[in-house]
Amino acid sequence: MIKTILFDTGGVVFLQDTAEAFRRFTEIGVDARQFIGDYGQKGIILNLENVAIFAEDFRAEISKLVKKDLTWEEVQHCWLGFLKSVPATRLDNLIKLREKYRVCLASNTNPYIMAYTRSNDFSGDGHGIESYFDKLYCSYEMECCKPDEDFFKKILDAEDVKPHEVVFVDDSKKNIATADALGIKGVWVAPDEDWMPAVEKILKIHQNS
């Protein structure tokens, strides 16, 4: 029986605009393509998301790259380019799922994005992201990133659940592959695709197992 459902953020909870984020980074003089690939990060961005460096260190490193002292707000503005919109239907579906299951965020993310999503500006009607989840598992707070097995194992331990009792929804096939290998029921969705039909299908299949 399924007890817990894990969700990624970008491309899953909110619609993502990578081109806009890259444009904003370019405006301040940073070629973000050298740090961000398809569904993966590297260099100082990976270091930020697995807390090898802290947000202030990241701001300082980016400032060195562009030879200008950037503010927190300027760096955050670049990161928020990834967040295109938050469909109300997805938030409604998260609330619906919480009636029967424990619903948790499981995201590679960073303090710049989470400062916004945790604010009352996130939903458009005065609610932060914590209003829609029982628990937020963020890579920079867990000190590891997907698709590392440790990321999932830490969540399993914290939730006190077995892998077969968990569904994981993500738009990265690498992340889904790791989850599947651990026995978690992975649900891959294309970026920005409506995931509710696929989630309802797998929940129905395993409702009595």
- For 98, counting Cβ atoms within 10 Å of its Cβ (0-12 exposed, 13-18 middle, 19+ buried), the class is middle
Q: What is the pLDDT along the chain (209 residues), one digit of tens a residue?
A: 999 999 999 999 999 998 999 899 999 998 877 766 544 555 566 566 666 567 888 888 889 888 999 999 999 999 999 999 999 999 999 999 999 999 999 999 999 999 999 999 999 999 999 999 999 999 999 999 999 999 999 999 999 999 999 999 999 999 999 999 999 999 999 999 999 999 999 999 988 66
- In 3D space, the residue among 75, 57, 56, 63 whose CA is nearest the CA of residue 116 turns out to be 75
- Extract the tokens encoding 188: 């891959």
Q: 103-118, pLDDT tens digit by residue?
A: 999 999 999 999 999 9
Whether residues 76 and 100 share a domain: the answer is no
| CB atoms inside a 10 Å sphere around CB 92 | 12
| CB atoms inside a 10 Å sphere around CB 205 | 11
Whether residues 92 and 182 share a domain: the answer is yes
Whether residues 26 and 11 share a domain: the answer is no
Give the residue numbers annotated as catalytic, written as ranges: 8
Whether residues 39 and 106 share a domain: the answer is no
Whether residues 65 and 156 share a domain: the answer is no
Whether residues 8 and 90 share a domain: the answer is yes
**What's the CA gap between 175 and 171, in Å, rounded?**
8
* φ, ψ of residue 50 in degrees (nearest 5): -115, 20
Could you tell me the CATH number of the domain that includes residue 140?
A: 3.40.50.1000
- Domain count across the chain: 2
Q: Are 176 and 159 in contact (CB under 8 A)?
A: no
Q: 29-56, pLDDT tens digit by residue?
A: 988 777 665 445 555 665 666 665 678 8
Residue 137 — left, alpha, or beta (φ > 0 → left; ψ -120 to 50 → alpha)?
Answer: beta
Whether residues 44 and 113 share a domain: the answer is no
